[in-house]
């Protein structure tokens, strides 16, 4: 059910992300730039240009984590609205953690927006603990 993402998955993943940005607009309103950046990173991880993990449950869920060992940075776990609460997010993170450990990573660092209360609760339930505070200054 879970497998590495392939270039052929990019169109439905892009749609899943676009749906998510509609559901939860970003605090900075820079959805277009973020979409381009995520797309670029997804392709780079799939092709091996950038180290990381891109895993999917086809058409329903995607996980994108990237960076060289020892720290893997989470760029998101997204489950399609109609497929949530079926354990897919948990399944993806469990498989990603297993693969990451085997590849020499020692930790996963994620930085959800503070207003994404559900995601933070879900991550904490999955064993993530707060360690850093990210401060932002608008320019």
Ligand X SMILES: CC(C)(COP(=O)(O)OP(=O)(O)OC[C@H]1O[C@@H](n2cnc3c(N)ncnc32)[C@H](O)[C@@H]1OP(=O)(O)O)[C@@H](O)C(=O)NCCC(=O)NCCS
List residues near ligand X by CB under 6 A: 20, 76-79, 84-90, 112, 116, 118-119, 122, 125
CB of 126 to ligand X, least distance (A): 7
45: enclosing H helix or E strand? helix 31-47
Identity of the residue, 22 or 104, whose beta carbon is nearer to ligand X in the bound complex: 22
* Residue of closest CB approach to ligand X: 89
Q: Pick from 117, 113, 105, 11: which is nearest to 62 by CA? A: 11
Q: Which residues contact 121 (CB under 8 A, 6 or more apart)?
A: none
Q: In this structure, what token pair is assigned to residue 46? A: 């799939």
Identity of the residue, 96 or 104, whose beta carbon is nearer to ligand X in the bound complex: 96
CB of 102 to ligand X, least distance (A): 22
Identity of the residue, 37 or 48, whose beta carbon is nearer to ligand X in the bound complex: 37
Identity of the residue, 22 or 133, whose beta carbon is nearer to ligand X in the bound complex: 22
CB of 110 to ligand X, least distance (A): 7
Q: Is 108 exposed, middle or buried (0-12, 13-18, 19+ CB in 10 A)?
A: buried
CB of 87 to ligand X, least distance (A): 4
Q: Which residues contact 6 (CB under 8 A, 6 or more apart)?
A: 46
């Amino acid at each position: 059910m879970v497998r590495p993402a392939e270039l052929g998955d990019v169109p439905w993943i892009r749609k899943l992300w676009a749906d998510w940005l509609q559901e939860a607009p970003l605090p900075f309103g820079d959805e277009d730039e973020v979409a381009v950046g995520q797309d670029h990173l997804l392709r780079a991880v799939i092709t091996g240009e950038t180290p990381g993990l891109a895993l999917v449950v086809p058409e329903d869920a995607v996980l994108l984590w990237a960076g060289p060992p020892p720290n893997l940075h989470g760029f998101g776990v997204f489950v399609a609205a109609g497929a949530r609460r079926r354990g897919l997010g948990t399944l993806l993170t469990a498989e990603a953690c297993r693969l990451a450990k085997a590849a020499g990573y020692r930790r996963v660092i994620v930085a959800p927006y503070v207003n994404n209360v559900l995601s933070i609760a879900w991550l904490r339930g999955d064993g993530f603990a707060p360690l850093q505070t990210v401060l932002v200054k608008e320019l």
